[in-house]
Amino acid sequence: MMQRLKLISREFAGFESSFAVQADRFERLSGWRVEREFEEIHRLYDRMIAGEEAFSGKYDLFLCVTDWLPEAIRRGLLLPLSEYLQSDPPEGWPEAWSPSMRGLQTGEDGQIYGIAYHDGPEMFIYRSDLFADPLEQSAFLERYGYPLGVPETWSQFVDVARFFTRPEEGLYGALTASYPDGHNNVYDFLIQLWSRGGELVTADWRSAFDDRIGHEALQFLVDLIHVHQVVPKEALKMDSVRSGDHFAQGGIAMMWNWAGFAAVAELPGVSRIAGKVRTGLIPRGDGPSGRHTSLNIYWVLGIAAGSRNPEAAYRFIKETASASMDKATSLCGGNGTRLSTWRDEEVRKRFPYYEQIEEVHKHVRSPLPIPEYPAINEALSQMTDDALNLRVDVPEAIGRTARQVNDILKKAGYR
């Protein structure tokens, strides 16, 4: 009987395709079959982290997002890989990865608990055919008094979004992923906050976003949908995957989202705008504190603590981290994490955004690397969802959530 490993991952067509390729290769190399299960992101957290299924013995391999890692490491839900990495490292380890792809999976004990499998980062993604159209350029210049181009600031972003919003033509200027799954709706708020010079917490561990910048950041997201009406209201029910798929159908001029969805928009048979997609830096706030910012979270492949086959599970991680298999992740619609993949000419030709990934990584920030962050994240998700759906106004939503964050940090002993 063939020996088997069991892997669980977030549901995403890119992951399903890339793991299929990598599992087939591993089976041919080792004789081990890798069975794969894909779960909605909220359910994945509830099951593997909150419900501690990582201990159950049902799974050997767990694709875990870096937001969850401090909690997973503290609970002992993942096995440390440091001894494996020292005795039998993957090809090129560790220099073959950017430092930004190695830090978040290192615990306070100095042990490494996973290898980066799928990278963001978030990037500005747009329809290059619309931006390059001479008629559109002429009309934009006449209306706004400056040339049509990739917006540098959020006020320019609103101008461009208004210009391209033509519901009667099936076109909207922008798209957000605003479904309350604790993923992109929170990250959208953090990007708006950081790009304006704001902070989530202070140096002495107090909430810092109940201020002018924090209110402006959240109000901007509300206004895109309800005031400027440049984002379709359907976005309130779209997570990052659905919004990326929607963008690929051609009815959106621009968005900021994970770089992998620029890849989705280039896939023949999936996208209606293949060859018409480009990327750039996410706009910055208009004031003197404004800065281009992106979000650095990524998915790491680790060994579930209850695995009955940890050595074989590590061998799969090692093989999947090779240059050829990391490139396969990208070619299947995910986002490889090795520098060799980012610089690969075939990958860049097919997905031009890889030419900018290293530059974007110079401007990345990550959510708080503490075990209590998932609880904070849940509060931020509720805040953003309440504001976006007009249940409460922005000051009330932020004030309530700032108090919740303070309570979480105080209870955890950070002050």
pLDDT digits (tens, 9 = 90+) for 288-298: 999 999 988 99
CB 44 within 8 A of CB 61: no
Sort strands 277-280 and 122-127 into parallel, antiparallel or unpaired: antiparallel
> Which contiguous run of DSSP H or E holds residue 411?
helix 394-411
What CATH superfamily classification does 4-119+297-360 receive? Periplasmic binding protein-like II (3.40.190.10)
pLDDT for res 270: 87
Q: Give Cα 277 to chain centroid, integer Å.
A: 19
pLDDT for res 267: 84
pLDDT for res 360: 86
Cβ contacts of 50 within 8 Å, gap of 6 or more? none
How many CB atoms lie under 10 A from the CB of residue 154?
A: 21
What CATH superfamily classification does 122-201+221-295 receive? Periplasmic binding protein-like II (3.40.190.10)
Q: Do domains 4-119+297-360 and 122-201+221-295 have the same CATH topology?
A: yes
Write out pLDDT tens, residues 125-146: 999 999 999 999 999 999 999 9
- Whole-angstrom CA distances from 156 to 191, 247, 281 are 16, 20, 13
Q: What DSSP character marks residue 47? A: I
Place of tokens 């932020």: 398
- Where in the chain are the domains? 4-119+297-360, 122-201+221-295
Write out pLDDT tens, residues 29-88: 999 999 999 999 989 999 999 999 999 999 999 999 999 999 999 999 999 999 999 999
Determine phi and psi for 228, rounding to 5 degrees.
-75, -30
pLDDT for res 188: 96
3 state SS for 74-105: HHCCECCCHHHHHHCCCCCCCCCECHHHCCCC
Position 128, amino acid: S
The closest of 207, 214, 168, 166 to 190, measured between CA atoms, is: 214
- What gap in Å lies between CA 35 and CA 41, rounded to an integer? 19
> Which contiguous run of DSSP H or E holds residue 33?
strand 33-39
Place of tokens 């931006």: 131
CB 55 within 8 A of CB 306: yes
Beta pairing partners, 348:
none
Instruction: Using DSSP, state whether 302 is helix, strand or coil.
Output: strand
Tell me the helix, strand and coil percentages in the chain, rounded to 5.
Answer: 50, 15, 35
Query: Is this model's pTM higher than 0.85 or not?
Result: yes
Mean pLDDT of each 10-residue bin along the chain, 415 residues long: 93 94 97 97 95 98 96 97 98 95 94 95 95 98 98 98 98 97 93 97 97 98 98 96 95 94 87 94 95 93 98 98 97 93 95 88 89 95 98 98 98 90
Determine phi and psi for 37, rounding to 5 degrees.
-130, 140
Alpha helix positions (H), 3-124: 13-30, 41-45, 69-75, 82-87
pLDDT for res 145: 98
Place of tokens 């979480």: 408
- What gap in Å lies between CA 153 and CA 286, rounded to an integer? 6
For residue 180, whether the previous peptide bond is cis, meaning omega lies within 30 degrees of 0, is no
Give the tokens for residue 383.
């805040």
pLDDT for res 142: 98
- Whole-angstrom CA distances from 69 to 19, 104, 105 are 21, 8, 7
- What gap in Å lies between CA 313 and CA 316, rounded to an integer? 5
pLDDT for res 269: 86
pLDDT for res 225: 98
Q: Work out the burial of residue 367: count CB atoms within 10 Å of its CB; fewer than 13 is exposed, 13-18 middle, 19 or more buried.
A: buried
pLDDT for res 260: 82
